[in-house]
Amino acid sequence: MKKTLLLAAFAILILSCKQKEEENATAVLPSAELLSLSVNGKAIALNSCPYGLGPQLELIFTFSKNVDLSRFDENQLTCNGVNLSVFDMYADGKDLILKTNSDLPYFKKISLNFYAGKNFGFDLSENFKFSFISSYDPSDKLERLSDEDLFEKVQKAAFSYFWDYGHPVSALARERLGSGNTVTTGGSGFGFMSVIVGVHRGWISREEGAARVLQMSRFLAEKARRYHGAWPHWLNGESGETIAFSTYDDGADLVETAFLIEGILAAKEYFDGNSEDEKEFRDIAQQLWEEVEWTWFQKDGEKKLYWHWSENYGWKMNLPISGWNEALLAYVLAAASPTHPIDKEVYEQGWARNGSMSFNPKSPMFFAHYSFMGLDPRNLSDQYGDYWEQNCSHARANYDYCANSKKNYGYSSVCWGLTASDYYKGYTASSPSNDTGTVAPTAALGSFPYLPEEARGAMEYFYYVLGDRLWGEYGLKDAFSLKEQWFANSYIAIDQGPIVVMMENYRSGIVWDSFMKNEEVRAGLDKLGFNY
């Protein structure tokens, strides 16, 4: 009898609960919406996906109606990346509070999914998903080295891109890892300068270095396609034929030519010995230099230089070289040319725009690198600016933007450097005014002469903390985005070059000293009114 009564009571309880569930299911609940979100007391945009949260979090979701935890439906709130049980749940009026009860895993994308419908005692009007990426493990991934050994290792690994990965026929710099026969003329200019660094550091012998620059220069003189003495942006490293950079850019690129001549002239001054290789290289270097028809690129005598010319499309690209950008060197070399020199007026009207040229500290960092890998900015000035001061302020602005960023991109005082590089959607010129959340090591490491302590901090962070993903065969990879959990697998010649050369210019100034020894370059600077 007692057992029968207990069974009856239990059945009544089951029926009562079922009835209550049915009532809840059919009850008309007030409609509610999510109003705001805060993370550890900081307001977060509802549509954002912040980086670097954790390891402990307090998330407060504020709704338009009071939260009733007794009416929580676990099917209406799910979590990806970790189990929802990692959060303790509380209610305070209209606030739903989720607080971690253990540390979150490192560098994990975690998503909380609120589904529209009845939950927490109201009817949520629409789905909502909040995703975030937890912080990167801050511990060292690679063994600690002395400061000097780390500097040497990073610089030498970038050098090996040019030395070990140079094209087997031309020895010119491949455009990027995996580019096959596509070599880059501007990047090869950086390759000439990297050979100077390799010899100076003892990574290769002087004889090896001289043989390499001779091999490169012979190819440029004998096989490489030229247009009025200027090279295209890309060449086939085996045949020397032009590889079009874009539809209309299938001919001369004067700025890339300037970077190539920059390297050739620096190497010409450095390899000043009496060996047959060095003497032949100097002769070819002078020939290549003299054969560039800088004045042709004034486009029918205009008082400015133009970037491109094509046999097929003429001046179709129609891009004047006008400051401020990476191309100051083109005007310096054009004025310095022993055979086809421009007048000072072309510099003043074309580059300086009659004094209306403006420097933008929010521009990508390569503006302070490419022209100044050979052209020494330390005492460089003219009526338009002090270029050492300008480059230092440029690097400082890039650093300050990252170190003080309000964005959840993972930037910090040791994670900085915005410039042209690969990024998670392709290739772009990142900068404070075009911020994709992508950091390129070349931006910080190429700025060693300008901000040595800040550059060193970045180098240590890139190597020790991110090295498990960022370090590879040719050193630090091209770029990364913590907010996108993306690390490039690429190396690019024009990004590896500033690492090798500008780190050495900070270290010894050997490339600056070599380029600035050239008497014709100095005469060109004098002609344009520079102090140096």
- pLDDT confidence of residue 125: 95
Query: What tens digit of pLDDT does each residue of 235-286 get?
Result: 999 999 999 999 999 999 999 999 999 999 999 999 999 999 999 999 999 9
Please give the helix or strand (H or E) that residue 147 lies within, else none.
helix 147-164
Query: What tens digit of pLDDT does each residue of 173-226 get?
Result: 999 999 999 999 999 999 999 999 999 999 999 999 999 999 999 999 999 999
- Going by C-alpha positions, the residue among 303, 299, 334, 336 that lies closest to residue 317 is 299
CATH (domain of 85)? 2.60.40.3710
CATH (domain of 179)? 1.50.10.140
Residue 518 lies in a domain: yes
Q: Where are the alpha helices (DSSP H) in 223-253?
A: none
- Going by C-alpha positions, the residue among 450, 495, 452, 494 that lies closest to residue 476 is 495
Cβ–Cβ under 8 Å, residues 389 and 449: no
Last residue of a domain, one of 101, 134, 167: 134
- pLDDT confidence of residue 18: 52
Reading the block at residue 191, the tokens are 């390759």
Q: Give the C-alpha separation, 172 to 159, whole Å.
A: 13
Domain count for the chain? 2
Residue 21 lies in a domain: no
Class of residue 69 by CB neighbours under 10 A (exposed 0-12, middle 13-18, buried 19+)? exposed
Q: What is the mean pLDDT of the chain?
A: 95
Within 8 A by CB and 6+ apart from 18, the residues are none
Whether the per-residue pLDDT at 11 is higher than 60: the answer is no
- Same-domain status, 225 and 158: yes
Residue 66 lies in a domain: yes
Residue 327 lies in a domain: yes
Residue 333 lies in a domain: yes
- Same-domain status, 151 and 109: no
Count of beta carbons in the 10 Å neighbourhood of residue 193:
32
- Same-domain status, 213 and 70: no
Query: What tens digit of pLDDT does each residue of 294-348 get?
Result: 999 999 999 999 999 999 999 999 999 999 999 999 999 999 999 999 999 999 9
Q: Give the C-alpha separation, 377 to 356, whole Å.
A: 21
Last residue of a domain, one of 134, 161, 184: 134
Q: Give the C-alpha separation, 369 to 190, whole Å.
A: 11
Class of residue 214 by CB neighbours under 10 A (exposed 0-12, middle 13-18, buried 19+)? buried
Distances (CA, A) of 227 to 230, 426, 434: 5, 30, 34
- pLDDT confidence of residue 13: 44
Last residue of a domain, one of 93, 113, 134: 134
- pLDDT confidence of residue 25: 53
Cβ–Cβ under 8 Å, residues 395 and 368: yes
- Same-domain status, 353 and 419: yes
Residue 2 lies in a domain: no
Residues forming a β-bridge with 404: none
- Same-domain status, 130 and 152: no
- pLDDT confidence of residue 20: 43
Q: Give the C-alpha separation, 341 to 343, whole Å.
A: 7
- pLDDT confidence of residue 10: 47
- Same-domain status, 241 and 124: no
- pLDDT confidence of residue 36: 97
Cβ–Cβ under 8 Å, residues 476 and 422: no
- Same-domain status, 319 and 370: yes
- Same-domain status, 239 and 292: yes
**SS3 of residue 87 by DSSP:** strand
- pLDDT confidence of residue 486: 98
Please give the helix or strand (H or E) that residue 53 lies within, else none.
strand 51-53
- Going by C-alpha positions, the residue among 193, 195, 240, 244 that lies closest to residue 219 is 240
Residue 13 lies in a domain: no
**SS3 of residue 420 by DSSP:** strand
Query: What tens digit of pLDDT does each residue of 25-47 get?
Result: 557 899 999 999 999 999 999 99
- Same-domain status, 207 and 111: no
- Same-domain status, 359 and 247: yes
Give Dmax over CA atoms of the chain in angstroms: 118
Beta-strand relationship, 128-134 and 51-53: parallel
Whether the per-residue pLDDT at 113 is higher than 50: the answer is yes
Whether the per-residue pLDDT at 15 is higher than 70: the answer is no
Per-residue pLDDT band for 387 (boundaries 50, 70, 90) equals very high
- Same-domain status, 251 and 102: no
- Same-domain status, 504 and 397: yes
Count of beta carbons in the 10 Å neighbourhood of residue 23:
9
Could you list the residue range(s) of the whole structural domain that residue 515 is in?
A: 147-528
Q: Give the C-alpha separation, 442 to 4, whole Å.
A: 81
Residue 11 lies in a domain: no
- With a pLDDT cut of 90, the percent of the chain lying above it is 94
The whole-number average pLDDT for the span 355-362 is 96
- pLDDT confidence of residue 391: 98
